[in-house]
Structure 1
Amino acid sequence: MPERAAPRRHHPLATAARGVVAAGVAAAVWGTLIERQLFTLRHVTMPVLPAGQGPLRMLQLSDLHLAPWQSRKQRWVRSLAALAPDLVINSGDNAGHEQALFALRHALEPFAGIPGVFVHGSNDYYGPMLKNPLRYLREPSQKSTRTPNLDNEALTHFFMDDLGWLNLNNSAARLTVADSILECVGLNDPHIGYDRADQMAAQLAEVRAEPAAGPVTTLGLVHAPYRSALNTLVDAGATALIAGHTHGGQVCIPGYGALTTNCDLPRDQAKGLSTWQHNRRAAFLNVSAGLGHSIYAPVRFACRPEATLITLVPAVL
């Protein structure tokens, strides 16, 4: 009788290598095809209002990086109007393509008539370009030397004239929302050096020259949460800080979190609610992980795209 062949043995290292490759392929498929489409509404509560006021519901939209063909994202953003927020806060980086304005109009038009405020991010001036993503792990991306190639003026007019939102780029405004008086201060994007604290301070002085009809809550808004920008807003009296830019790290490691914030914000504050302390003052800080990504880096891993419903309630004394 012929001898039976000995059973084939698998080397442990080869088995482990195949497992690593399979896990990598699965992670890549998940991050590029699935998770980046799993839009999520995150809920946050900030106890900052004076006694007897609120609650006040604010919808933060950030980092849409919208491209014309992203119809699923457009539909999801439009659906958020059903939340009927008291205030919409747009923290920048809306455009992900040079022809994004039509898609942005479609996505945001249901919010017309709802009070809103906005600041710009770099991708409201500059369209995306192909870059080495590994550079983000070493240092924040650098200020562009290109000529702006997005129609920022048209975007700004759409926000102000069609939607009725207030422009807070290096500016300040006071508005009454529900039964709360909000003093809103904002900076243009420090990531590209467009922030002008002196302009914001001058506008804030004009706002405060008119006495308020009651207790005031100060909100600070900036796209990129650089330490200096957050400190400037806290010095202006903000007790609630709202920012985007970081994408929550975009690609995170479970149990470790974001690898980078693409600015000098500490990595453990890359997304979500935390506190910011400066000059013996403290403020709540919400950093949105945002809704999009560059069209040249279509991936999210352990960091779902999000909008945030921020509820302001009276401070606990």
Structure 2
Amino acid sequence: MQDPDTSNDTLAEFLALEERIGRTHLRQRLGLEGDHEVFCFARAGAHFFYPENWYSVHGFIRTALRLVGLYERAQRNARTIRLTHNRLTIAGLPRPFEGLRLLHLSDLHTDLDPRITQAICERLRGLDYDLCVLTGDYRARTYGPFQPALDGLARIRRSLQAPIYAILGNHDTIRLVPGLEAMGIRVLLNESVPIDRAGAVLHLAGIDDAHYYQVHNLHQAAAAIPPDGVALLLSHTPEVYRQAAHAGFQAMLCGHTHGGQICLPGGYALTWDARCPRRLAAGSWSYGTMSGYTSVGAGSSVVNARLNCLPEITLHELRP
């Protein structure tokens, strides 16, 4: 493993992370991130694959919205954070967990527009919940500096109450993990933790990015979950829904799609950048005996604009 950039991360932090998630996982993640950085900087064509990194796309979208007179409205929409309520049914849910309130935030992209981050903070104030989960994408670009994203997330963290669990998305570098965990946010990297309530246990598992880096490992994430255990999976993308259901997870929370972000009237998404059916691109869904929910995200990607798809934070109520 190449030494991490000690200007941002200490060697001790990375050695501790290596011991926790394994040398292979850490080497693979860092190596793929390095390849991606080279790809973005050295090859002009790379930007076509990630519009987040291609400034001409940003300009085209903004110009198109201005031409149709919707740019100001779309910007206001990006700062209008909905609170969505969802009943998340989980087969075999232990009785002490019935009615547990789980706050779900996804795709914060905290360094894109500080006004959006502030709107998220304001929407979080006064909420009552038992557990908070974050399903990835804290940075606006897919490469480059990550400290601004950490700074934005620190603002949001002050509006959240513990316990908080998180996973990484395709925009995130694994170098974020020490900073996140220093804030009291436990990052699950193909890992699980038991949540205890009145002597009963609900297992919360989280996988690393399955969209771009494809370093997810459901087998490893479920390794510590007993065969009769009830488990909720965090995945940045809904793309692994079939594998998750057949691996025995009873429920799955995800994001990544932004619900399309700029949609036709009625919320009809033109694209959702995920290899999954349209019905899994936003809101509640099920596959076999597994229930799921795809957040449309609290932040915005590429441009700070949304049409017919308001951003959201979700309050799930667990039910058997």
Shared fold by TM > 0.5? Answer: yes
Tell me the distance in 1 between the aligned counterparts of 2:65 and 2:216.
Answer: 49
Q: How many residues align?
A: 250
For the pair 1:115 / 2:163, whether they are aligned, the reply is yes
| 2:311 alignment counterpart | 305
TM-score normalised to structure 1 length: 0.71
1:286 to 290, 293, 307: 293
- How big is each residue's C-alpha offset from its partner over 1:27-56, in whole Å with a ceiling of 9 and x where there is no partner? 34322x221111111110012223464210
| 1:30 alignment counterpart | 73
Alignment of 1:19-168 (within 5 A): 25-31=68-74, 33-48=75-90, 49-51=93-95, 53-67=97-111, 70-77=114-121, 79-80=123-124, 82-96=126-140, 98=145, 99-111=148-160, 114-125=162-173, 152-153=174-175, 155-163=176-184, 165-168=185-188
List runs of 5+ in structure 2 lacking aligned partners: 1-63
Q: Tell me the CA shift for residue 118 of structure 1.
A: 1.2
Q: Tell me the CA shift for residue 271 of structure 1.
A: 0.8
TM-score normalised to structure 2 length: 0.70
Moved more, 282-291 or 230-239: 230-239
Percent identity among equivalent residues?
A: 28
Alignment of 1:114-263 (within 5 A): 114-125=162-173, 152-153=174-175, 155-163=176-184, 165-177=185-197, 180-197=200-217, 200-208=218-226, 216-226=229-239, 229-255=240-266, 257-263=268-274
Q: Which has the larger radius of gyration?
A: 1
Tell me the distance in 1 between the aligned counterparts of 2:83 and 2:198.
Answer: 22
- The AA in structure 1 aligned to 2:158 is E
Q: Tell me the CA shift for residue 284 of structure 1.
A: 1.1
Check 1:203–1:251 CA distance in 2 against 1; reply closer, same or farther (3 A cut).
Answer: closer
Tell me the distance in 2 between the aligned counterparts of 1:88 and 1:118.
Answer: 9
Check 1:68–1:106 CA distance in 2 against 1; reply closer, same or farther (3 A cut).
Answer: farther
Q: Tell me the CA shift for residue 169 of structure 1.
A: 1.9
Q: Tell me the CA shift for residue 186 of structure 1.
A: 2.0
Q: Tell me the CA shift for residue 202 of structure 1.
A: 3.5
Root-mean-square deviation over aligned CA pairs: 2.7
Tell me the distance in 1 between the aligned counterparts of 2:88 and 2:183.
Answer: 29
Tell me the distance in 2 between the aligned counterparts of 1:22 and 1:110.
Answer: 32
